[in-house]
Amino acid sequence: MSSFTRVSSPGSNYSRVKSPLPMPATTRYGCTSAANKFYKYVRRIFLFKQMDFEFALWQQVNLFYKPQQVYRNFQYRKETKSQFARDDPAFLILLAAWLIVSSAGFSISLGINFIGYLKFLIYVIFVDLIGVGMVISTILWYISNRFLLKPAFKDRDVEWGFSFDVHLNAFLPLLIILHFLQIFIYHIFIERDWFVSTWFGNTLWLIALGYYIYITFLGYKSLDILQRTHVFLYPLTVLAIFYIFTLAFNWNLSRSLMFFYKNRVL
């Protein structure tokens, strides 16, 4: 749909001029339905040539030191494409690729055979990344729309796709810390019975989960239709208490994780 800069009226010196630019997304009629958006997103998963992997990689790098900039791009997408959620699955594909590599490292470290590796990989991608992510996204999507919308924006809502994108953003640092960094020092140091090993391994968990919570908070904070978004930081208190609890009982979370992973593929 094209927009017009002026509309002539009797006695006016202005003529009707057609603009080459589309109307802003916020004023378009007949915006794409959520089901249609989802269909287009899934269809593009198999169209690699249409994906912008360079931009997706830029986002992943910036999530570590400039996450606010990543969410600023979500605002730009809303203005241009009438949706906050990504319409390009390149970010998800890259995340799955990192899981393929990290799962191979886990399999080598734990002595898992190739069939076990495939079972483990399927579980990590479709349960840990997508399945758990859908559950968390749905819960936070419901809380946002039910309790956190500003009164002036009751006619609008948080897109479920955006909530899932926030999960993907927050999952990346967790993946790098627990699936990449940890694997290189697990057998050397973390799996020992020493208290300092428990402390170090559990501290990695604290940082990874804390990062997940913080990036989740930044995602919902970037939406101007929400209020009281600080509630997304409340789990940090629970996380800190749990961290102290694990240290008090010398519970090595990393060793428990490795045991759990290994038993997934037996």
Per-residue pLDDT of the chain (266 residues; tens, 9 = 90+): 444 444 444 444 434 444 443 333 333 333 445 566 666 666 666 677 778 899 899 999 999 888 888 888 777 776 666 677 787 889 999 999 999 999 998 888 888 889 989 988 998 999 999 999 999 999 999 999 999 999 998 888 999 989 999 999 999 999 999 988 898 899 899 999 999 999 999 999 999 999 999 999 999 999 999 999 999 999 999 999 999 999 999 999 999 988 888 777 76
Contact 260, 177 (CB under 8 A): no
Contact 89, 45 (CB under 8 A): yes
Per-residue model confidence (pLDDT) at position 50: 77
Per-residue model confidence (pLDDT) at position 83: 75
Distance CA 191, CA 184 (A): 12
Enter the tokens of residue 254: 């990393």
Distance CA 247, CA 202 (A): 8
Closest CA to 86 of 21, 163, 187, 189: 163
- Orientation of helix 235-248 relative to helix 195-221, angle to 10°: 180
Closest CA to 168 of 46, 63, 14: 63
**C-alpha R_g of the chain:** 23
Burial track 220-237 (b if 16+ CB lie within 10 A, e otherwise): bebbebbeebeebeebee
What are 149's strand-pairing partners? 226
What is the DSSP secondary-structure string of 197-259? HHHHHHHHHHHHHHHHHHHHHHHHHT-TTB--GGGGGTHHHHHHHHHHHHHHTT--HHHHHHH
Per-residue model confidence (pLDDT) at position 75: 74
